[in-house]
Amino acid sequence: MELDELYQSMILDHARRPRNFGELAPPAVRSEGYNPACGDQITLYVRKGQNDTIEELRFTGQACAICMASASLMTVQIKGKPVREALRLEREFIRSLTGPDDLGPALGNLRALAGVKRFPQRLKCATLSWHALEEALNQPAGPSEGGGPQG
């Protein structure tokens, strides 16, 4: 099926040349993800902007192609989005991969990972970066605006 081939080349492309690869300095929060079953290890950096949006996010690490591609595609898909929207996409992505639903259009190019459904043992590879994202978003942000004593 042609779509399969397109998706496969997209996964390989993101695995070889991951987007948003690198670190962010504080006050960006960071979280770690580790998948012992496969050896995937990633560190995610998230900086929130005004109005609770995800202003910037990057990741580093060493992981298999599925895990790298999922993290890379995730950063592309949720950068600039409100935190609430990102968490909604996370739930949709994980629910779709673990249940009967197809990956919906809101997930964009992440639908390239739909094939993972046929390989349940690789599910953790595909969802690792998303769990790290949720953890990062639940951490308190850096210095909060206003409030504190100044000068």
Q: Which of 94, 98, 99 is nearest to 129 (CA)?
A: 94
Figure out which of the listed residues 46, 125, 126, 133 binds Zn ion, where binding follows CB under 5 A.
Answer: 125
Compute the distance between CA of residue 130 and CA of residue 90 in angstroms, rounded to an integer.
6
Residue 90 near Zn ion by CB under 5 A = no
Residue 40 near Zn ion by CB under 5 A = yes
Residue whose CB is less far from Zn ion, 125 or 137 = 125
- Whether a cis peptide bond, with omega within 30° of 0, leads into 27 is yes
Residue 87 near Zn ion by CB under 5 A = no
Report, in Å, the least distance between residue 73 CB and Zn ion. Answer: 15
Compute the distance between CA of residue 50 and CA of residue 68 in angstroms, rounded to an integer.
28
Q: Which residues bind Zn ion (CB under 5 A)?
A: 38, 40, 64, 67, 125
